[in-house]
Homo-oligomer: A and B are copies of this chain.
Amino acid sequence: MASPTLSTEQQILQAAQAVFLEKGLAGARMQEIADRAGINKALLHYYFKSKEKLSETVVHQTMGLMLPRIWAILEADQELFDSIRRLVHEYGTFLQENPLLPLFIINELNRNPRFFVHLMLGDKPGERLQRFRQRVEAAVAAGLIQPISTPQLLVNVVSLMIFPFLGRPLFQAVLGLSSAAMQAELDSRLTEVAEFVIRAIRA
């Protein structure tokens, strides 16, 4: 049960986020959310008409924390390698603090791409990346980096950051690492991934 100084609505949202992240949307139970918020199911439906509505509110709130920071970095006018270092470090830190988020997001993204993409990109999806694309192409043209398309570069960076949190149980077992040792590996990626990418693309 969360701090009683929060409004009931905030208690619910906090409890709902925790349960959704732990169990996934399909696995989450309204009963459990109510229990953790210290109320009952009826009141849950009084505040949020349905589970679907509740989840949308939670997703909206949760994504709001991260997205502006990512876009700020991608749109900043800055040396490309520094952008990559900042992106890896800031987004990586956020992921360390929210390690369950990737699995939840990936599932909802695939279940309802429309809703999700609109939430992340607003009305004009393709355009937000224009600045970053120009900077990559300029760096290629100037011979600063290997010829690589913006899609491939971006997919690579994002994959390297997020996937370890999804495959963690597998990696830990295959590599024969303790939970602490695996955590240390993830920590060191906050800098290692950036250098890995930079070495790969540097001309």
User: A residues bordering B, Cβ < 8 Å?
Assistant: 24, 26-27, 103, 106-107, 109-110, 113, 116-117, 120-121, 125-129, 146, 148-152, 154-156, 158-160, 162-164, 166-167, 169-171, 173-177, 185, 188-189, 192-193, 196-197, 199-201
In the assembly, what is the distance between CA of A170 and CA of B146, in Å?
A: 25
Q: How far is the CB of A197 from chain B (nearest CB, A)?
A: 7
Q: How far is the CB of A13 from chain B (nearest CB, A)?
A: 23
Do the beta carbons of B107 and A103 come within 8 Å of each other? yes
Do the beta carbons of A159 and B169 come within 8 Å of each other? no
What 6 pairs between A and B have smallest CB-CB spacing? A126-B176, A159-B163, A200-B200, A113-B169, A117-B173, A163-B163
Chain B residues contacting A188 (CB-CB under 8 Å) are 152
Of B110, B155, B163, B171, the residue contacting A185 (CB under 8 A) is B155
In the assembly, what is the distance between CA of A132 and CA of B151, in Å?
A: 31
Do the beta carbons of B110 and A173 come within 8 Å of each other? no
Of B26, B117, B177, the residue contacting A151 (CB under 8 A) is B177
Q: How far is the CB of A134 from chain B (nearest CB, A)?
A: 14
Do the beta carbons of B121 and A173 come within 8 Å of each other? yes
Chain B residues contacting A121 (CB-CB under 8 Å) are 173-174
Chain B residues contacting A110 (CB-CB under 8 Å) are 103, 166, 169
Among A117, A128, A155, the most chain B Cβ lie within 10 Å of the Cβ of: A155
Chain B residues contacting A117 (CB-CB under 8 Å) are 169-170, 173-174
Do the beta carbons of A125 and B200 come within 8 Å of each other? no
Knowing A107-B103, A162-B163, the reply to whether A173 touches B113 (Cβ < 8 A) is yes
Chain B residues contacting A152 (CB-CB under 8 Å) are 185, 188-189, 192, 196
In the assembly, what is the distance between CA of A146 and CA of B128, in Å?
A: 36
In the assembly, what is the distance between CA of A173 and CA of B151, in Å?
A: 11
